[in-house]
Structure 1
Amino acid sequence: MSESQAQMEPLQPDETKFTIRKKVWAHMSKNKLAVFPKPYGRIPNFQGAEEAAARLLDLGPFRDAKAIEVNPDKPLAPARALVLAQHKELYVPFPRLQECLMKKLQMDEKLDVKMVVSRWGIEHTGTKIDMKEEGIAIDLLVLGSVAVSKDGRRIGKGAGFADLEFGIFKELKAITDETVVVTIVHDSQVFDELPAKLFQKYDVPVDYILTPTRTIKVEEKLPRPEGIFWHELTKGQLKGRKVLLELREKHEKEGRDVTLKVPNPDDPPNRFPLFRRRFDFKRRQNRSYYQNRTMKDQIQNDNGQKDGALRRVVKFKDSKSDNTQENLENIPPQNKIKKKKKKPHIDYSLRVSNIQKNVRVRDFKMALREKGIKPNNITWKGSRGYCYLHYAKTNQKVEKDSEAINGVIEMIQDLKINSNVEKNLNVKVMEPITRIETVDVTAV
């Protein structure tokens, strides 16, 4: 047992997959073992992912494999790069199975390998592989994990996509029971054992566990899922996923039972509520509503306002209730809703086009700073090949055709963003854009 795992809280008899995930995420975050992005709700990225991925070179199944599938999780990016560097066929499941089954990635002379294996590269450079593709044979699977035991039991982030992908590959005969499954994790994510009662017939076990410090081979193979279990899936899990819908339609024509599971609202939660991450920012904005719910008895007015009106009372300070106004004055300043800052007036904009898609906004900002170009705001559309620089006049005598503006245009046209960019930028003076989404030019 590693030193980092020795500090983790021991598992209790009543543990669930959900509670185990929370312990791993909290442990990695507290001990600064995780790196960007934050580990909660995902397969955690960790320090030493490159060293762990390099251990693939010592595996005989990896050396013998011709086609390898690596999941799109962030900590597996070094493994994806290694597969391409070894001139093997690389397949990556499309995130959440929304667009296609998976994509085939290849080296690109114009792009760095790190860009190719990134989330952007998977979406924009990969070749789509759908259900109708024939003759695909995957020799090795590389999965991410939140927790894994030395006997091969694996816990993912809770969305179930790795298990679904395995089942689909099995249905399409792209993999067999002999296909080797590898997971790459930090040492602290490895447990001596995980409760067997938590695992179902659709859970995918692993054959090898790679960490930054060791390679663990599972001695006794656990049973593999035979395919897709439709009675374990709900209608909501199929919504918007073309691959699953097509496979279900195919099975229905073959006479197989494709009855879906009816969700039970009384079932205890076993998965991290991923959807809540999207509302974190709103929660912080409305802190007075979410953090001051205990003040409802103090803020109620003479008419007995209900808790549902609390947010309205806090926001509108012109309430007719004297008691409410007095209590509002006692709310700490940091808990009051702040008014949105008014966007600065824009007099004119410069449209900069011919931007290569691999250019990032931070590189563009740094190049502008080196030339002394300081627009008030930037509207970045780099993925479409252009952006806008917005200016507010500080001197009314400065006109669009002035030497100052022409000088800025000339500097931008000669701008060298990085060594990989060969195209010259095109600049055009535009009329003001009234409704825009801007990027703070001071932020990198």
Structure 2
Amino acid sequence: MSPSNFESHKSIIRNKVWSQLHNVALPDSRFHHDYSSFIADFVGSSRANDFLASLPTYQNAEVLFIAPDNCIQELRFRALKDGKTVLVTTYGIRRGFWLLDPLVISGEKWEIASMLDGMEKHGRHVTLEEISSSLKRIDLMITGTGAINCQGLRFGKGHGFFDLEWAMLYTIGVVDASTRTIAVVHECQVLDEKLVGEEWDTGCDFIVTNKRVIEVAGTSRAN
């Protein structure tokens, strides 16, 4: 498949999923139902996050990267309540990485800190150098996405933010090919489409929906 046809096919897939997502997605205060601008929260995301929190890979993790997506805001809050350190980016990585440490942020502020409007007030801005020196290792990376197939290949908004976040953290040595990755989506966002990913695509080891957990074998990693 040529690059132009590949991108066209991915666009068709996104639009097909977005038409179904409109029935279960929660509108964003800034972008309403413009799924090309944000990753939506959805009916059933709490159940999906419960499934995720039951996984040993989450329970054993001490430091998590959790993307700034609407569907996993509740998970960021939960992780802080579970005593885990959370690394998150600002939306679009515009203002870099922020560290949410439950030992530093008081408990009554954890929920606000887990939100995009609150993390910059209660979290700590960290450079890549500071991440490398202070965290040493990120145990788990979690993201939302526009759609994903059963082989763990994501079809996001088309901006590649999670791939870039992975690449940045890989470059400084805090993640590697053994670092587990999880996508949280509504069941309608899981596809049977089979596509060959591009070299920078970062696949997911687990797909967690409001109905089930799918474990993926042989997931590709951008590096």
Bin of the TM-score, shorter chain as denominator length:
0.7 to 0.9
* Distance (whole Å) between structure 2 residues aligned to residue 79 and residue 163 of structure 1: 20
Distance 1:73 1:129, change over 3 A: same
What CA deviation, in whole Å up to 9, does each residue of 1:336-379 have, x standing for no partner?
xxxxxxxxxxxxxxxxxxxxxxxxxxxxxxxxxxxxxxxxxxxx
Are positions 1:104 and 2:96 aligned together?
no
CA contact (8 A) 1:144 1:184 kept: yes
For the residues of structure 1 that align with 2:8 and 2:203, how far apart are their CA atoms?
19
Moved more, 102-111 or 129-138: 102-111
8 Å Cα contact 2:201-2:220 kept in structure 1: no
Secondary structure (helix, strand or coil) at the match of 1:132 reads: helix
Cα deviation, 1:190-221, whole Å, max 9, x if unaligned, reads 0123322xx21001100001111111111x21
Q: Is the 8 A contact 1:210 1:216 kept in 2?
A: yes
Q: Which residue of structure 2 lines up, in the alignment, with residue 119 of structure 1?
A: 116
The structure with the largest alpha-carbon Rg is 1
Structure 2 CA distance, aligned partners of 1:75 and 1:167? 23
Aligned to 1:53: 49
CA distance in 2 between counterparts of 1:195 and 1:20 reads: 11
TM-score, length of structure 1 as denominator length: 0.45
Evaluate the alpha carbon distance shift between residue 176 and residue 183 of structure 1 in structure 2; reply closer, same or farther with a 3 A threshold.
Answer: same
CA distance in 2, matches of 1:127, 1:142: 20
Q: Offset at 1:76? A: 0.9
Q: Give 1:135 deviation, angstroms.
A: 4.2
The 3 A distance-change label for structure 1 pair 116 and 173 is same
Instruction: Select 1:95's aligned residue among 85, 91, 95.
Output: 91
| 1:19 aligned onto 2:12 | yes
Higher relative contact order (CA 8 A, sep 6+): 2
Equivalent position amino acid for 2:126 in 1? I
- Give the structure with the larger strand fraction: 2
Q: Does 1:40 align with 2:35?
A: yes
On the 8 A contact 1:54/1:82 being kept in 2, the answer is: no
For each residue in 1:228-262, what CA deviation from the matched residue of structure 2 results, as whole angstroms up to 9, or x when unmatched? xxxxxxxxxxxxxxxxxxxxxxxxxxxxxxxxxxx
Q: Within 5 Å, which residues of 2 pair with 1:195-344?
A: 195-196=195-196, 199-218=197-216, 220-226=217-223
SS of the aligned residue for 2:25 comes to: coil
Deviation by residue 1:141-182 (Cα, 9 ceiling, x = unmatched): 001111111111111111111111100011000101000000
What TM-score, normalized by structure 2, do the two folds share? 0.87
Q: 1:16 to 1:106 in 2, by over 3 A?
A: same
Structure 1 unaligned segments of length 5 or more: list them: 1-12, 227-444
Identity within the alignment, %: 27
* 1:307-355 Cα shifts (integer Å, max 9, x gaps): xxxxxxxxxxxxxxxxxxxxxxxxxxxxxxxxxxxxxxxxxxxxxxxxx
Deviation at 1:39, TM superposition (A): 4.7
The offset of 1:110, in angstroms, is 7.2
CA RMSD of aligned residues (A): 1.8
Cα pair 2:51 2:208 within 8 Å, conserved: yes
Instruction: Give aligned pairs, total.
Output: 208
Structure 2: which 5+ residue stretches go unaligned? 1-5
Decide whether the 8 Å contact of 2:109 with 2:122 is kept in 1: no
